[in-house]
Structure 1
């Protein structure tokens, strides 16, 4: 774990850009002798911290509390009073009240496997819609210029990303390789801790994959969780942008956004496009 100097504001802005959860710890009030004044701030993640609210055991206790709150997985605020006596191993004799703000940027975690035409249309749209996007592919050249808020990751084998994926994420398998698609889907269903697993492809591909997954020992209840074809069926068309809009609309529906406006077979392409354009303003 590393402590970094510099501006807490710059650190917070970079966490927002990366879509990384963090805690903003602020000294709300002080009494007696204290190492820092009210208003001092620091930014804390699971592995790092930036700026300082006084150092020593006080800061150690703040880091511990902040990381415990991060581990809970919820955005929340909490005020904690810390006396600077024996428990804090500091001789100031005063006390501080610290505000902990757990900040989880974006509206949800989305992991996109693949950087083909559909993914390249979809990923900027998801970034504009404030999803926390991780984009994984085994072709470095296709990830060379990702949108600023997107975490792009080149891996020779995209399955290597699985151990570090966040629980409850939306998983989208959009690769150029059917064998890689299958290996990803099999591994994701075998360790199911996601909100949804979507696979690009036709109904014929879906049936072939489901038959093969059953033969390879994936329980029927987990196979039923695979969404293929992926995306909102109300969006017509097979062009990359049409498929991307269908996928984005489905994500918005599950995230509980404008679900009433999105739901319904009568909704046509133009209505969905206007809805998504409005959402990115």
Structure 2
């Protein structure tokens, strides 16, 4: 499945080479539909296999021209223990594909009727086929962009929230703090170190969900003030009822209506341990995604990787 969020980010460097497992015979390090994006300086995603991925990455950086199909027997070609073979498609993408399916000719042939039918079914019924090569054409479903979640603060609570939310499908987490050394290693997050985090508010999409858990009450207040002016899908602030009463008064004095902000966040009944707070915050966020009238997402989509972030 083609990840539009990852592709959009990678395209900032220019055209991107994508390596996709289109099919496999026997044992394979990853399933069909798994892909990675390769730029001159970095990769996003993994097709697994160690030697397979290394070789594919090197070849991707040399790739020019039309899509290339290669079938690689993992044992004879790479000396891997897997007894299978994978079919890789390597292609260059210069812009975001449109529509529910990414369909491209691998041999220059015109689009066959079978592919046209799959395209029509995907548009009319939302029926997405599995990744496959069909009559010389690559067919690959497109994953809609992730739901943006902006997490402000990488202290104990921020780290617990990031660890709890990052494995969830369809969430695109941007994590902000004052310096890179504030962040632990955490997969599936985009870390944004900035000396004055409040200045990053303008970078957030207006449909983002925000969680404010910084080390500074002054910064918390400034973030609330700027986010209320900027706009958001939801916003939660860590703190006590006393803290929120003071913030509410100050925000009103600044001409803001603070009622759109939730404080305290999480479930106070779970306690104040960072992991307990994170569990409550995650539950609250998921309920928000499910119940907001403006949210197009369903429980099945959020839980099983359907349309979402």
Match of 1:229 in 2: 264
Contact kept in structure 2, 1:135 and 1:153, CA below 8 Å: yes
User: Matched residues in 2 for 1:226 and 1:6: separation?
Assistant: 40
Match of 1:77 in 2: 101
Change (3 A) 1:142 1:37: closer
Contact kept in structure 2, 1:111 and 1:135, CA below 8 Å: yes
Q: Give the one of 230, 238, 244 matched to 1:206.
A: 244
Contact kept in structure 2, 1:136 and 1:152, CA below 8 Å: yes
Residue 140 (1) aligns with residue 180 (2): yes
Match of 2:36 in 1: 10
Deviation at 1:169?
Answer: 1.4
Contact kept in structure 2, 1:111 and 1:169, CA below 8 Å: yes
Deviation at 1:65?
Answer: 6.6
User: Matched residues in 1 for 2:160 and 2:266: separation?
Assistant: 14
Deviation at 1:103?
Answer: 2.0
Contact kept in structure 2, 1:16 and 1:105, CA below 8 Å: no
Deviation at 1:39?
Answer: 7.1
Secondary structure class of the residue paired with 2:244: helix
Deviation at 1:255?
Answer: 2.4
Match of 2:276 in 1: 242
Gaps of at least 5 residues in structure 1 are 18-34, 41-49, 54-58, 70-74, 82-91, 258-277
Deviation at 1:76?
Answer: 3.0
Deviation at 1:147?
Answer: 1.1
Change (3 A) 1:14 1:252: farther
Q: Give the one of 212, 225, 229 matched to 1:186.
A: 225
Contact kept in structure 1, 2:19 and 2:91, CA below 8 Å: no
Deviation at 1:205?
Answer: 0.8
User: Matched residues in 2 for 1:160 and 1:15: separation?
Assistant: 27
Match of 2:151 in 1: 112
Contact kept in structure 2, 1:146 and 1:152, CA below 8 Å: no
Secondary structure class of the residue paired with 1:224: helix
After alignment, is 109-118 or 156-165 more displaced?
156-165
After alignment, is 149-158 or 172-181 more displaced?
149-158
Contact kept in structure 2, 1:4 and 1:51, CA below 8 Å: no
Contact kept in structure 2, 1:112 and 1:133, CA below 8 Å: yes
Deviation at 1:172?
Answer: 0.6
Gaps of at least 5 residues in structure 2 are 1-12, 21-34, 47-64, 71-88, 112-136, 292-302, 305-309
The alignment of Structure 1 onto Structure 2 pairs a total of residues equal to 200
Match of 1:121 in 2: 160
Change (3 A) 1:39 1:103: farther
Q: Give the one of 216, 236, 241 matched to 1:177.
A: 216
User: Matched residues in 2 for 1:216 and 1:38: separation?
Assistant: 59
Change (3 A) 1:128 1:79: closer
Deviation at 1:176?
Answer: 0.7
